[in-house]
Chain A
Amino acid sequence: MTEPTTRYAPGTFTPAPRRASAWRMASAQTRFELRLLLRNGEQLLLALVIPIAALIGLTKISVIDLDEPRIDTVTPGIFTLAIMSTAFTSLAIATAFDRRYGAAKRLAAAGVPRWLLITGKIAGVFIVIVGQLLILSGIALLLGWDPAGSFAWALLMVLLGAAAFGGLGLLVGGTLRAEAVLALANIVWLVLVGIGGVIVPLSSGGLMSAIGQATPAGALSHGLRDVLQFGTAPSLTSVLVLLAWSILGWLSSIRWFRWQ
């Protein structure tokens, strides 16, 4: 039943599959995700517009009572907000819609191993967080921010925070239906903004403050304020809380994550 085809030169489709290097696959995937992110208005709003607006607003408008200089109090909270938005909310939503569209499965079908799919996603999250923190730091410095403390401690807190939020983001995005993720990821974001010391630093003592301190947002904002505002090491509690959330999120993701 073979009819001669003149349209294609013989040998056009001769099989010659060769898997790309892990680097080529991961960098293509990361570039792809970053381009989608930059084109997505809601994601940009979450990643940059809201944090920038909050940074400037909380510093310039003194409706809420904050320690002076306001910018030093505000900035660590805004960093927490930025990290939470990207590593948790955006990652959860993007993962859920990847699953909905079968995009993760499409990549798997093209020979991208599971670990590389996750690596590509995480790399994308880290690049975005670096970009956010650079931009936010630049604006904060213009507003007179005077960061204290060691860069290494700050970096550790950022990494731990991203790990904790990222694990939870993958867990939520990898287990629930896309609509549910959309709702849940935004509600959790709002609740954590409320109780996680993002805007008003957690006071010491009190039940609400203890609950806030136990959330990844509270631990991260508290730890970042220890370092950047007060120039000390982050409290052991903050480090342990973030570690615990990281382990919980990642182990649960490994256990329950579904590709479709």
Chain B
Amino acid sequence: MTEEPALELLGLGRTFGSLAAVDDLSFTVPRGSLLALLGPNGAGKTTTVQMCEGFLRPTSGTVRVLGIDPWTHADQLRPRLGVMLQAGGAHASARTREMLDLIGHCSADPLDAGWLLEELGLTSVARTPVRRLSGGQVQRLSLAMALIGRPEVLFLDEPTAGLDPAARHLVWDLLRAARADGVTIVLTTHLMDEAELLADQVVIIDHGRAVASGTTSELLGDERAHLRFAATAGLDLTLLLQALPSGYTAVEVRAGHYRVDGDITPAAMATVTSWFARVGVLATDLQVGRRSLDDVYLDLTGREIRA
């Protein structure tokens, strides 16, 4: 196997009129790894994936999938990809099994369609027209269509959107198994837990630009705990910093939301709460925790990712 990366983006950009949907995006996905493209709706995730699949022409930069230009050599590349379209792409009046068989026939040696349906819990609706499937069932059919051709690279656009928790775990198991078997997976999601649980690498995009990228542990920083609290905006933190031992930092992340970084021991906690008493502040929310991708995103953009 030649070892060019599965996916390589270099300064990739796409504009629609005057809107830059994707702007100067660069990252590399090694073979057999899972990258999560994380961001709120409208961040440019789907546009990025569509350029990787050869459905959209980049307006700047380059993208190579398995060393191939997806726009100019789509016919050569696509048989090696497994694609899950956001719109699904299943014909509304086709039956579930019929639709999967059709896609299976595009491959010379597909996975067994009956087995795939069974694994994804779709056997009971194999003869049901797509228009009568639930959103979650359509989503699983869409995943089956992406997998059936034994692809080298899987592009999954929000694979677990609309799935109930049980189905979501089923899909996660399946994706882990596929990655363990050497499939490269690129998935878009706005679910932090999904990215945190599955991804070797996370790229957080917002307004078409990468605001952060790295392995999950890189993004989350070291294991040091932090303390967050919510109180009235604009508090003077000088007194607090004086009360705490050196090495602690305290910042107002955004109006009324504060974070104290450092070794959050019971003593440090007591210091913080006694400072509340001294300055006469009632914290409305106080929590100690490891950073999550939610925090990373919030710190970077000042917005909830699920906005």
Contact = CB atoms under 8 A, between A and B. Distances in A.
A36 interface: yes
Contacts, number: 141
Given A1-B216, A7-B177, A15-B150, A101 B105 contact: no
Interface string B132-176: 000000000000010101111000000000000000000001101
Given A14-B182, A101-B91, A28 B106 contact: yes
Contact of A105 (B75, B85, B105, B177): B85
A214 B196 CA distance: 65
B91 A110 contact: no
B107 A20 contact: yes
A47 to B, nearest CB: 16
A111 B75 contact: yes
Interface in B76-104: 78-81, 83, 85, 87-94, 98, 101-103
B65 interface: no
B53 interface: yes
Contact of B106 (A8, A12, A13, A111): A111
A35 B98 contact: yes
Given A13-B183, A15-B151, A106-B89, A20 B106 contact: yes
B223 interface: no
A216 B183 CA distance: 52
Interface in A90-116: 97-98, 101-103, 105-113
A106 B145 contact: yes
B108 A18 contact: yes
Nearest to A17: B80
Given A3-B176, A19-B108, A12 B181 contact: yes
Nearest to B115: A12
B52 to A, nearest CB: 11
Interface residues of B, number: 49
B151 A98 contact: no
A248 B105 CA distance: 34
A102 B87 contact: yes
Nearest to B147: A13
Given A1-B198, A17-B152, A101 B183 contact: no
Given A18-B79, A20-B106, A28-B101, A2 B177 contact: no
B78 A111 contact: yes
Given A17-B151, A24-B108, A29 B102 contact: yes
B93 A106 contact: no
B120 to A, nearest CB: 12
Given A1-B198, A15-B152, A102-B89, 19 more contacts: A2-B176, A12-B177, A15-B182, A17-B80, A17-B107, A21-B108, A24-B105, A29-B102, A32-B98, A32-B102, A35-B98, A101-B90, A101-B91, A102-B87, A105-B89, A106-B88, A106-B103, A109-B78, A111-B107
15 contacts: A1-B197, A2-B179, A10-B181, A15-B150, A15-B182, A18-B107, A19-B107, A35-B98, A36-B91, A40-B93, A103-B89, A106-B89, A106-B145, A108-B78, A110-B145
